[in-house]
Structure 1
Amino acid sequence: MKVAIYSQYPKKQSKDSLEILTTELLKLEATLFLEIEFFNNIKNKLLNPDAYKTFNKLDKSFDLFVSIGGDGTILRAVTYIKDLNIPVIGINTGRLGFLATIQPENIKEAIQQIKNKAYTLSKRTLLSIETTPENNEIKNVNFALNEIAISRKNTTSMITVDTKLNGEFLTSYWSDGLIISTPTGSTGYSLSCAGPVITPDTTSFVLTPIAPHNLSARPLVIEDSTVIELKVSGREDNYLVSLDSRIATLSNDTIITIKKSPFTINMIELNTESFLTTLRKKLLWGEDKRN
């Protein structure tokens, strides 16, 4: 088995989780590859640095991708996985953990379940983006697993986001911005802006305005086959677009086209876990004893 391992921050909990993970994977005679920047940051603290090879890009020969960190780490990991269909699982050393669901104390059990194929693959839809004129910051990694968000820059004034769906005018959002979210991202930024929670297998996207001044503006659920076109205007000449955690600056004459990405990401869902279980745990549903 060929396994890629990635983490953003070499903090103690990530290092300890890596050591446990390494022990379990070596029992399966796996070949381990650490992302090169992560390896360079942590190699002096490793018990056996020679146990690892390194990578800075992946290919289809990898059998498993393990992310150590929070949900943001998995979102970064997706930029390595791209359209390679490598199954990914996350060890949660961060905070909330909707995507990174394996707790450090459960690593051994999780690896055994993977060995026994006691899991399913949850195919996660992504968004892709095109800009006219083309933007060099975006075109090389032009997809997002959670959301694409438009927001104001260098101003406290609101922006106007003219929005079309399949070529038909929807509305002009007068707001701090607009979030276009996948079902996976519905528990992220969109949720914090009062968007709905959507199960990962739903074939929908969500448009969620950020602090809209149009008091009737509400989150809108649309078919994921919809082509979304956005045009921004405001007092400043530029605005921000973010793809998960990656940010670029666009000028107000830029037209954005967002649609369903041609590939999906395969998230490993262990048989002892489920999205609904995670939802109850993370949102504390049922903590009210009357439930």
Structure 2
Amino acid sequence: MKVGLVAHAGREASLQAAGDAARTLADLDVEVVATAGDADDDPRIEGVTSVPADSFADGLDIAICFGGDGTFLRAAHLCRDPQVPVLGVNLGRLGFLAEVELDDVGPALRAVAEGRWKLEPRATIEVEVTGPDGQQLGSGWALNEVAVEKTERQRLLLMDVHIDGTLFAKVPADALIVATATGSTAYALSAGGPIVSPHLSAVLVVPVAPHSLFDRTFVAAPHETVRVDLLPDQAVALVSCDGREPVAAGPGSYVTARGDGRPVQLARVGVTDFPTLVRRKFGLR
């Protein structure tokens, strides 16, 4: 058994929890490696061999991350393509992606050491950004959402939104979010989008502060292509996947997104269902 640890390098509590987990796993005869951060001078997890990000997933049976949903997303981007399952320990605020709370780490680590976890595949969005001359400006994928955002505070972002080649709406807004069902409880929720069960195959198109009478979320099928055209005579927009490095897209550029990308494999060691999770996170009765 080989386990990889990912911790939020800027939070001492995350590094400490990861170090404690590493010692527990070592006592259970589990090999442990880690990657704590992207920079060479990032703090490391005490007593654990650190490996470069591009080789982190090599030979892993499972990855465990310590932090909030941002840390989970980083682990997911390290582990999606090699199909290494990811288990999250929540040290953030809401933490919809991270299943395990800090008080429950001990039993979760024993379950991992014994190979007792279930896989829960979560679809991703494949994204391409194309310039007005047809040149590809960037590509990537998102587990939560793709965000197309304005760069000038005083001006709106003017967009034409197409669904599978058909113009759906002209959207003047601060931003536009294309989210998975998994990402419905992230940026899309804060913009007024619905909470969607992650077991539903769907893509949400959510305008952010739209300046129009129509401000509803459109729900597309995963195989339908969502295309966002950036209209002429406006400032450059920024396109980002899961809040990672943005791509600048000028007027005349367009973004295409499909929700049938290769899934991220979530590891589950408990039995908490999604409605219960939502109820607990929001304190519903």
Measured in 1, the distance between the counterparts of 2:204 and 2:251 equals 23
Structure 2 distance, partners of 1:42, 1:220, is 43
Corresponding pairs, count: 279
Structure 2 residue 53 is the aligned partner of structure 1 residue 52:
no
Give the equivalent residue in structure 2 for 1:32: 32
Structure 1 residue 235: Cα displacement: 5.0
Q: What code does the residue aligned with 1:284 have?
A: G
Alignment partner of 1:192 is 2:193:
no
For residues 53 and 245 of structure 1, the distance between their equivalents in structure 2, rounded to whole angstroms, comes to 25
Cα deviation, residue 253, structure 1: 1.7
The whole-number CA distance in structure 1 between the counterparts of 2:154 and 2:233 is: 10
Partner of 2:3: 3
- Partner of 1:57: helix, strand, or coil? helix
Code of the residue aligned with 1:52 in structure 2: it is T
Match of 2:277 in 1: 278
Q: Structure 1 residue runs of 4+, over 4 Å off? A: none
Deviations 1:193-237 (A, max 9, x none): 110111111011111110111122201111111111110126533
Q: Which residue of 2 aligns with 1:265?
A: 264
2:216 corresponds to which residue?
218
Which residue matches 2:42?
Answer: 41
Are positions 1:181 and 2:157 aligned together?
Answer: no
What is aligned with 2:103?
Answer: 105
1:129 aligns with 2:127: yes
Classify 1:24/1:40 alpha carbon distance in 2 versus 1 (closer, same or farther; 3 Å). farther
Q: Secondary structure at the match of 2:74?
A: helix
Q: 2:19 is matched with which residue?
A: 19
Separation (CA, whole Å) in 2 of partners of 1:225 and 1:77: 26
Aligned 1:56-71 pairs, distance under 5 A: 56-58=53-55, 59=57, 61-71=59-69
Answer yes or no: is the 8 Å Cα contact 1:121–1:266 preserved in 2.
yes
Identity %: 25
For residues 100 and 144 of structure 2, what CA distance do their matches in structure 1 show? 19
User: 1:233 touches 1:252 (CA, 8 Å); kept in 2?
Assistant: yes
How much does 1:155 deviate? 3.4
> Equivalents in 2 of 1:119, 1:56: separation in Å?
24
Q: Are the equivalent residues in 1 in contact too, given 2:9–2:36 (CA < 8 A)?
A: no
Query: Using the alignment, how far apart are the partners of 1:237 and 1:16 within structure 2?
Result: 44
Normalising by structure 2, report the TM-score.
0.90
Q: CA deviation at 1:41?
A: 3.1
Say which is worse superposed, 252-261 or 192-201, in terms of deviation: 252-261
Which residue identity does 1:14 align to in structure 2?
A: S
**Aligned equivalents of 1:236, 1:218: Cα separation in 2:** 24
Whole-angstrom distance in 2 between the partners of 1:114 and 1:275: 21
Q: Partner of 1:73 in structure 2?
A: 71
Work out whether residues 30 and 113 of structure 2, in 8 Å CA contact, stay in contact via their aligned partners in 1. no
Flag the 1:213–1:8 CA change in 2: closer, same or farther, 3 A: same
Distance in 1 of aligned mates of 2:5 and 2:185 = 25
Deviation (angstroms), 1:36: 6.0
**1:126, distance to aligned residue in structure 2 (A):** 0.5
- Residue matched to 1:167: 165
**C-alpha distance in structure 2 between counterparts of 1:15 and 1:9, whole Å:** 7
Partner Cα distance (2:141, 2:21) in 1: 29
Offset at residue 270 of structure 1 (A)? 2.3
The verdict on how the C-alpha distance between 1:262 and 1:190 changes in structure 2, with shifts beyond 3 A counting, is: closer
| Alignment check: 8 A CA contact 2:67 2:89 kept | yes
Q: Residues 36 and 99 (structure 1 numbering): CA distance in 2 closer, same or farther, change over 3 Å?
A: closer
Structure 2 vs 1, CA of residues 25 and 184 (structure 1 numbering), >3 Å: closer, same or farther?
same
**Structure 2: gaps of 5 or more residues:** none
Shift of the 144–22 alpha-carbon distance from structure 1 to 2, 3 Å rule, reads same
TM-score, normalization by structure 1: 0.89
Q: Secondary structure at the match of 1:173?
A: strand
